């Protein structure tokens, strides 16, 4: 399944969107695709507007927010406050519009509003996030298409309050059913948990095939189109319990899903704000990998011995006491000796003696 390019897509006519819009989901090759569909004149969901994509469990994790207080990563409260603010100002905006405002222009304004929340782009690295806020805004679009500025926002208000409720129950689900450290078998954890503490796993809607890639090769994928936002959440939970585990990212503290064959403890989210400027624009996974590599090397006594000698020799070369040529030959052998020591071919004392015996002087 392919996503459209990471650009805000506006539509040209209401006919393009259809009516009774929904956000459906498809699980494909370790990723989740959320797409907007509408009914055509025959009442079938044949109008496909746009799909958005994230790695498994990222959307649920984004909705819950960071579990630990981590600078630059939004908490549950912050996630909710941001959505609520955007939604409230959207309602205010629509409330002030004249009766003759074109539906198309208002709906495009909704697209603009939610795009601000779901698109990120740091250091030239574009990505999508917060995809589970889409149903809220798509409901508004649907209402505006039907009723224009007379839309009463009742159904979307309900979705907003559901978002608040789900942040709490999904956190319980993530932690007590799905978290790999707590239970390696989500199915048995699920059968033990008090079902009132987690969202329902019963859903209704339509399971169908959608064609998202008409050229060059037709790509038909299984897709679920829920009746309501609650049905979408319940469907996701079903998928997770059956086929996934969760981790809480070691870097950003947000949940993500994995199947049993990948055990990386950092997520693939792009870091938007961080203590180290260099980390911004990288993924949690890249940063985690880098840190553990560096930690492994530096904790090693052998590496410390090597670095101390290397730095001292390098300094003497910089001052002109040693030629570039001799330094190059020495550092090559020094590296080989260090690796021999790490591999256990020579002892630490032997390596230390080697550095003393091979002190470079011209
Ligand atoms: Zn992360």
User: From ligand 1's centre to the CA of 185, what distance in Å?
Assistant: 23
State phi, psi for 54 to the nearest 5 degrees: -150, 165
User: From ligand 1's centre to the CA of 181, what distance in Å?
Assistant: 17
DSSP string, 64-129: H-BSS--TTS-BHHHHHHHHHHHHHHHHHHHHTS-TTS-HHHHHHHHHHHHHHHHEEEETTEEEE-
Which tokens in the block code for residue 139? Answer: 């409901």
Domain assignments of the chain as residue spans, ordered by start: 14-277, 300-357
Tens place of pLDDT per residue across the chain (362 aa): 444 455 666 777 788 889 999 999 999 888 999 999 999 999 999 888 888 999 999 999 999 999 888 888 999 999 999 999 999 999 999 999 988 888 988 999 999 999 999 999 888 888 999 999 999 999 999 999 999 999 999 999 999 999 999 999 999 999 999 999 899 999 999 999 999 999 999 999 999 988 766 666 777 889 999 999 999 999 999 999 999 999 999 889 999 999 977 678 899 999 988 766 778 888 999 887 766 655 555 446 788 889 999 999 999 999 988 999 999 999 999 999 988 887 677 888 889 999 999 988 76
User: From ligand 1's centre to the CA of 173, what distance in Å?
Assistant: 19
What is the pLDDT at residue 1?
Answer: 44
For 312, the enclosing helix (H) or strand (E) is helix 301-318
Q: What angle do CA 110, 115, 117 make, to 5 degrees?
A: 110
What is the pLDDT at residue 58?
Answer: 97
Distance (Å, whole) CA 316 – CA 359: 11
Which tokens in the block code for residue 82? Answer: 């941001």
User: From ligand 1's centre to the CA of 186, what distance in Å?
Assistant: 21
Q: Is the pTM of this model over 0.85?
A: no
User: From ligand 1's centre to the CA of 269, what distance in Å?
Assistant: 5
Contacts 24+ apart (CB under 8 A), 296-302: 300/342, 301/348, 302/338, 302/341, 302/342, 302/348, 302/351
């Amino acid at each position: 399944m392919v996503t459209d390019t990471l650009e805000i897509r506006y539509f040209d006519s209401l006919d393009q969107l259809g009516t009774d819009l929904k956000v459906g989901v498809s699980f494909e090759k370790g990723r989740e695709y959320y797409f907007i569909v509408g009914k055509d004149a025959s009442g079938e969901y044949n109008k496909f507007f746009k799909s958005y994509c994230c790695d498994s469990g990222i959307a649920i994790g984004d909705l819950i927010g960071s579990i630990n207080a981590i600078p630059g990563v939004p908490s549950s409260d912050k996630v909710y406050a941001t959505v609520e603010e955007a939604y409230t100002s959207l309602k205010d905006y629509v409330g002030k519009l004249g009766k003759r405002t074109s539906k198309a222009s208002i709906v495009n304004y909704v697209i603009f509003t939610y795009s601000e929340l779901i698109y990120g782009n740091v250091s030239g690295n574009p990505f999508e996030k917060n995809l589970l806020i889409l149903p809220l805004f798509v409901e508004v679009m649907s209402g505006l298409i039907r009723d224009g500025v007379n839309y009463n926002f009742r159904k979307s208000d309900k979705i907003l309050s559901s978002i608040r409720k789900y942040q709490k129950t999904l956190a319980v689900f993530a932690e007590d059913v799905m978290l790999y450290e707590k239970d390696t078998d989500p199915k048995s954890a699920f059968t033990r948990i008090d079902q009132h503490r987690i969202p329902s796993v019963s859903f209704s809607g339509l399971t169908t095939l959608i064609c998202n890639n008409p050229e060059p090769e037709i790509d038909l994928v299984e897709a679920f189109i829920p009746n309501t936002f609650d049905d979408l959440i319940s469907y996701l939970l079903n998928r997770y319990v059956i086929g996934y585990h969760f981790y809480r990212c070691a870097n950003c503290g947000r949940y993500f899903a994995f199947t049993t064959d990948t055990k990386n403890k950092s997520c693939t989210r792009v870091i938007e704000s961080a203590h180290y400027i260099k980390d911004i624009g990288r993924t949690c996974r890249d940063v985690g990998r880098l840190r553990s590599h560096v930690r492994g090397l530096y904790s090693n006594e052998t590496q410390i011995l090597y670095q101390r000698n290397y730095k001292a020799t390098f300094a003497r070369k910089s001052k002109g006491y040693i030629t570039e040529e001799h330094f190059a030959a020495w550092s090559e052998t020094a590296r080989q000796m260090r690796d021999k020591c790490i591999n256990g071919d020579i002892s630490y004392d032997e390596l230390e003696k080697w550095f003393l015996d091979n002190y470079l002087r011209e």
